[in-house]
Structure 1
């Protein structure tokens, strides 16, 4: 007569434990790979080309400069109020025509 102590004849539980251990080893290996990839990624670097630096400097100068030349505006105001500002009709007409021509081309 055979006595089954602690269900020793059942191999399903043993197989399940082995499968769990195998899966755990795979997860550990995957975690190690991810950690190694993260270390490699942290070693990346970049450099700024001289042209990019120059463009950045120019952009900063543009941002710092005023939009309106206040000195020129004041000079024109003085010239208009004193009557010294003279309008050249031919030059004004040519500028308007040029503006209209450029506007028509862009449409």
Structure 2
């Protein structure tokens, strides 16, 4: 029993399948391009959301800019620092920092 031209009969079928796949891919990519063009023409909306920490920071900055400034005291402290006469009490400073952090974070110190 002899089998002749086995490769010749399968080859046209494979080529037809490849052609059909390429055409289907071409149609799919055309549809994809059309969808992309539609999406590109639609107006885009930007949005921003702030974390709770960022909102708290904004609130603290706003309060700080609205706070009254005792310019006389500022000048007195500047002079004491430049003259080397200003002394820091570390315990009092640490206590004030703890109170400030508690206020910012909303907890009791």
Judge same fold: TM > 0.5, yes or no.
no
Normalising by structure 1, report the TM-score: 0.41
Q: Could you say which structure has the greater relative contact order, defined with CA pairs below 8 angstroms and 6 or more residues apart?
A: 2
Normalising by structure 2, report the TM-score: 0.41
